[in-house]
Amino acid sequence: MLKWFSYLIYFLFLCQNVYGEKLTLETLESSGVTIRYEKALKNAAPDVAAAYTRAKAALEKKMHIDLTVKPVIVLIHTDSAFNSMVGGNKLVAAFAVTGDNSIYIDYQKMLKTPFDLELTLTHELCHLQLHNYVQSDNLPKWLDEGVSQWVSGGIADIINFDGKKLLKEAVISGKYLSLNDITFNFPAEQNKLILAYEESKSLVEYIDEEYGSDKILLILKNLHEGDDINIAISNTLPVSLSALENEWHKHLKARYTWFYFFSDNLLWILFVFAALLTVIGYLRLRVRMRTHFKDEEEDDEPSNE
């Protein structure tokens, strides 16, 4: 079902008119990859092809596998076109359509934001490889996104400036997104979407730190062989999935205590405290002035004696 939906997205893209403006794409064939691009990005296409070669090598080294897909990378210059593909979500800078092994990139965001093209390609290639290696229905969304960020040094599909802050706030308040909540889909609401990405990355990094990167690859191998995520985790790690989630929460609580929260927000706290002192000082001054003028009025009143 998911694969057919991916094909549908691709077909609609090829046929679409975006606000009456038809996209015309040119093609560059390079070693192992096809680059399709709008004419305005003609000079960028060779750079993307070179970045793909480096991204492919980085992915294969990190995951100890050979990339088995030949992707089509589509470079979009027209903002309205890309926005229509992602439902107007301005956080999204790139995405992969696993059904036809294609990657779509808003090239303008690559230039305007601190995105790294090579790392972005590594991230999106990882999505394609994972969905070719593991049956999509058997690959949890959090693991898909977590591993893809893990191999790309934390780069995600979205522009994410507040991920760590949102994760810290979730840890301190205890308002996590549970793994069950992000197994099939991520939330649409902006802050929850960012938190879902950050939690996914954090959990995979925790597995790497606590048990080793080989365990991440073994979990994927078990999923590839048909295990569901609960069995894949239990057969790889000395804990169940639910125990792993609890273990990870404890790890986060030890890292993100109230002390770290206050440290991270010290300037903001001092600003608020200074503002409160200013207000209190002003109110006290008003009271003193009112008392002073009242005393003067009483002194100026004529005596009846």
pLDDT, position 157: 87
- Residue range 1-133 in CATH 1.10.10: no
pLDDT, position 297: 57
pLDDT, position 304: 52
Q: What is the residue-level pLDDT of the chain in tens, covering all 305 positions? A: 444 444 444 444 444 444 345 689 999 999 889 999 999 999 999 999 999 999 999 999 999 989 888 999 999 999 889 988 888 888 899 999 998 999 999 998 887 765 689 999 999 999 999 999 999 899 999 999 999 999 999 888 888 767 888 998 899 889 999 999 999 999 999 999 999 999 999 999 999 999 999 999 999 999 999 999 999 999 999 999 999 999 999 999 988 876 566 666 666 767 777 778 787 877 777 777 776 555 555 555 555 55
pLDDT, position 264: 63
pLDDT, position 25: 95
pLDDT, position 114: 55
Domains in the chain: boundaries: 1-133, 160-279
pLDDT, position 113: 66
- pTM here is 0.79
Residues 6+ away with beta carbon under 8 Å from 100: 6, 7, 10, 72
pLDDT, position 164: 85
> Tokens in use for 119?
């790392």
pLDDT, position 260: 63
